[in-house]
Amino acid sequence: MAERKTKYSQEIIAILRSEVENVVNRRIVSPADFDFLSQTILNAVKQPISPTTLKRIWGYVKDVGSAYNPERFTLCILAGFVGYRDIEDFIENFNAEDTTTQSGNYFGETISFKEIPVNGKVELRWTPDRVCVLKRISAAEFEVEVSRNAKLRVGDVVEFASLTQNAPAFFSKVMRAGSELVHTYVAGTRTGVTYRILDPNDE
């Protein structure tokens, strides 16, 4: 019987991708990166995922992009690679952290991107010692003006719908100058992100 397709949200898959990149301490963006990741996963968990499948999961294949729906078995291999029993264990732990922080009033205020004026800036901080300053350039698009110890680079253009204090920040699009590829990215997957709207008078 063929492996059934999963129905996990793209946000969960994006968080899993981010966790994988954290484990290998490398952003996966090129054919060589996918070859490296495929071999690294095989060496670590003795289960193969082809570079082609990884490219689909990371949205590297243009005609697939974020619509690709990986098989559960494939997601279980990735979850095992980052230290979980399977994809359900990964989601359960993610949801448990989410529930614990919410029940403890850990999450704070949520703002929409619309609350940040065009040309306004927001500073994001998350552990360990990561800082980004984003400038709104149009609609939900923000340009990265400052990036310290983060995978985002100065000049990247990102999109997000909202930010919540002490919650992970989900960027639905990350666009890099000189590249036609569009990625997703999650900042602060474990400890969340704090944000601060910058006062123009302080700059």
Give the span between the Cα atoms of 60 and 58, in whole angstroms: 5
- Closest alpha carbon to 161 in 11, 27, 7, 58: 11
CB 192 within 8 A of CB 101: yes
CB 124 within 8 A of CB 166: no
What would the pLDDT profile of 124-147 be if each residue is shown by its tens digit? 999 889 999 999 999 999 999 999
Under the banding of pLDDT at 50, 70 and 90, the label for residue 97 is low
pTM of model > 0.95 = no
CB 203 within 8 A of CB 140: no
Determine the residue type at 26.
Answer: R
CA 188 to chain centre: 9
What would the pLDDT profile of 169-194 be if each residue is shown by its tens digit? 888 888 988 888 777 788 887 778 99
